[in-house]
Amino acid sequence: MDDDLKERMESHPEINWSEVTRQAIEEKIEALEAMNELTGESNLTESDVQEIADKINESGRTRVDEESA
């Protein structure tokens, strides 16, 4: 983690950053597992899968941000 990010996080001591991190990791794993299920027999390309995963991740980050606010 770079110093700038650490300073910005420290400016918000009311946020449980460990919990935010845990939630983000859990959401990423769930998204990956869902993608594996959806694409197991699919004709989607790796690029298609990555695009879908990116959209899921952005949605998850938005939700975590809203819950942490």
Residue 58 carries which side chain, given as an amino acid letter? E
Domain boundaries, the chain: 17-68
pLDDT band at 19 (very low <50, low <70, confident <90, very high): very high
pLDDT band at 35 (very low <50, low <70, confident <90, very high): confident
What is the residue-averaged pLDDT of the chain?
88
Q: What is the pLDDT of residues 1-14, one digit of tens each?
A: 899 999 999 999 99
Compute the distance between CA of residue 19 and CA of residue 21 in angstroms, rounded to an integer.
5
Residues 10/35, Cβ–Cβ less than 8 Å: no
The per-residue pLDDT for 64 is 83
Compute the distance between CA of residue 40 and CA of residue 17 in angstroms, rounded to an integer.
34
pLDDT band at 17 (very low <50, low <70, confident <90, very high): very high
